[in-house]
Chains A and B, each alone.
Chain A
């Protein structure tokens, strides 16, 4: 009995120490990498905003009430001048998940409708397939959101839903 208890204690202690040491190492790595990852994400957003509207010189960031929208995170009003008098359009930051992973986009919307789309994060199974096979279809100026047959490699429906929500919000804001 005492032997059994000793064995269980040794097992628990060993696993606990290994787990604790692993957690400590991960925590230390997080301390070092978290600021870098955060800075990378901010740079990505700025590059993305300029990818959507190359003439962008300034922008204002606005929050969105998450209870009304599933995928919209925030939106930026893009200006072509630093004085923020000449509005180019809106850029929506969207974020959604499907069974293949997470997709977050920057979606440009103007009075003409859907503009350029920039992929911020895509953790789906085939990381680059979404952009090559789907997003570029909209970036050539065609603003119609069509259904695309894509199989199980990327989430076209998720992208469509994120874009449609962006359009809806724009129309609501401009309608006011």
Chain B
């Protein structure tokens, strides 16, 4: 494999994780991201299912990209995506029923999720199968960590604790108390949680704050780069003057 191909594969995989994160940079798929991030387990589960649908649909669409006529591109993509969403729903209902109940209608809405359809149209429809696979995995990881981050913040601020084992029942039920303390007999000693963060308004606030932090980091980086560039240009101009 030559350097250019390796670089292309690397770019396909990595860009979706941070630089072109579908939720935090492209601001796509915000509806389910705000709706199912009440708990970390539900968000993480959604992320895994989303990644599966995205990877499978990307691979199949890429494999069929030279066969599907332009006139029926979008309907064909939707049929493929809908098939995988249906399969994922059945598998989730059978083997992770608690997650299936928790996600409700948002699992079905993956069919018209902007990210899945967008990546199919923008990437899978014009790139190789392997690149599309890597793009699916990268964007899936990016979406999963983004919604998991929102969920962790919302669950801690909204309930005062993180709960594990309620949806993934193969894990023993565990509560990690952070803003809340409960005695051995179940009495609440203190509770600094704010139920606002369990509501949609709180979801918007958390997403907004995360986007603000990311924008601040990006701006700081850009200012730093510009300052370095200016300093270099100034040094070069001074050196030229001295030479003259």
Taking Cβ atoms with an 8 Å cutoff, the residues of A that contact B are 7, 10-11, 14-15, 18-19, 22-23, 25-26, 29-30, 32-33, 36-37, 40, 44, 101, 121-128
Contact yes or no, A18 B79, CB < 8 A? yes
Known contacts A15-B76, A18-B76, A18-B80: does B90 contact A101 (CB below 8 Å)? no
With a cutoff of 8 Å between Cβ atoms, the chain A residues found around residue B68 in the complex are: 14, 18
Contact yes or no, B79 A15, CB < 8 A? yes
Known contacts A33-B94, A101-B104: does B72 contact A14 (CB below 8 Å)? yes
In the complex, what distance in Å separates the CA atom of A18 from the CA atom of B94?
25
Chain B nearest CB from A42 CB (Å) reads: 12
Contact yes or no, A14 B69, CB < 8 A? yes
Nearest 10 pairs of A and B residues by beta carbon: A22-B83, A33-B94, A36-B94, A127-B104, A33-B90, A29-B87, A29-B90, A37-B94, A127-B102, A26-B86
- B219 interfacial by beta-carbon distance below 8 Å: no
Contact yes or no, A10 B69, CB < 8 A? yes
Contact yes or no, B79 A127, CB < 8 A? no
Contact yes or no, A122 B67, CB < 8 A? no
Contact yes or no, A122 B87, CB < 8 A? no
Taking Cβ atoms with an 8 Å cutoff, the residues of B that contact A are 35, 38, 64, 67-69, 71-72, 75-76, 79-80, 82-83, 86-87, 90-91, 93-95, 97, 101-105
Chain A nearest CB from B154 CB (Å) reads: 14
Chain B nearest CB from A48 CB (Å) reads: 13
Contact yes or no, B83 A127, CB < 8 A? no
Pick from B38, B79, B97: contact of A22, CB below 8 A. Answer: B79
- If A18-B68, A123-B101 are given as contacts, then 16 extra A-B residue pairs at C-beta distance below 8 Å, sorted by A number, are A7-B71, A11-B71, A14-B72, A15-B75, A18-B76, A23-B83, A25-B87, A29-B90, A33-B90, A36-B95, A37-B90, A40-B94, A101-B104, A125-B104, A125-B105, A127-B103
Which of B35, B71, B104 has most A Cβ within 10 Å? B104
> What total of A-B pairs shows CB separation below 8 Å?
74
Chain B nearest CB from A92 CB (Å) reads: 21
Contact yes or no, A101 B105, CB < 8 A? yes
Which of A18, A19, A128 has most B Cβ within 10 Å? A18
In the complex, what distance in Å separates the CA atom of A26 from the CA atom of B81?
12
Interchain residue pairs with CB less than 8 A apart (30): A7-B71, A11-B69, A11-B71, A11-B72, A14-B72, A15-B75, A18-B76, A18-B80, A22-B83, A23-B83, A26-B83, A29-B91, A30-B90, A32-B94, A33-B90, A33-B91, A36-B95, A40-B94, A44-B97, A101-B104, A122-B101, A124-B104, A125-B35, A125-B104, A125-B105, A126-B35, A126-B104, A127-B102, A127-B104, A128-B102
In the complex, what distance in Å separates the CA atom of A123 from the CA atom of B105?
7
